[in-house]
Amino acid sequence: MPKPASPASASRLPAAALGSLVRPRIRVLHGADVALGPGKVALLAAIAERGCLTAAAESLGMSYMRAWRLVQTMNTCFREPLVASRRGGKQHGGASLTGTGRRVLALYRQMEQASVEAIAPAWDELRAYLG
């Protein structure tokens, strides 16, 4: 939470407009690495959708180099790569999820969904305390 507090007048108005919500952000740590988190998973989903690392990075406002590094970290953390890249030829720069990548993405989404459902009762009570 590196965001500084905004003055009361600025924070009150959007609160009324935007309402309150709870968001579980799930991180998978593997040794010293973050193997999966919201950013990496968004990248996996974008690669699955676009079939190209450059386009996937662009769709997330991420530099190609950063996207490439995230993919390297994921591929290193898992027994089998999550993303397969093709270089050269007609499919120049293509990237796609491997079978493991698709399964890992689905399992992460399952964890997100299960988490959202599980926290609902306490969240219903907590939100009543919000201004």
**Which residues sit at the interface with a copy of itself, rule CB under 8 A?**
1, 3-6, 8, 10-35, 37-40, 69-70, 72-73, 76-80, 100, 103-104, 107-108, 110-111, 114-115, 117-119, 121-123, 125-126, 129-131
Query: Measured between alpha carbons, how far is 65 from 63 in angstroms, rounded to an integer?
Result: 5
Min dist. Cβ of residue 93 to a copy of itself (A): 20
Min dist. Cβ of residue 95 to a copy of itself (A): 16
Cβ-based nearer residue to a copy of itself, 89 or 131? 131
Cβ-based nearer residue to a copy of itself, 91 or 107? 107
Per DSSP bridges, beta strands 83-85 and 33-36 are unpaired
Min dist. Cβ of residue 125 to a copy of itself (A): 6
Residue type, 78: F
Cβ-based nearer residue to a copy of itself, 49 or 109? 109
| Contact in structure between 97 and 49 (CB atoms under 8 Å) | no
Min dist. Cβ of residue 71 to a copy of itself (A): 9
Token pair 């952000």 in the structure block, residue: 25
Query: Measured between alpha carbons, how far is 108 from 8 in angstroms, rounded to an integer?
Result: 37
Cβ-based nearer residue to a copy of itself, 30 or 49? 30
**CA distances, 74 to each of 1, 12, 80, 122, 127 (Å):** 25, 40, 9, 33, 35
Query: Measured between alpha carbons, how far is 5 from 26 in angstroms, rounded to an integer?
Result: 25
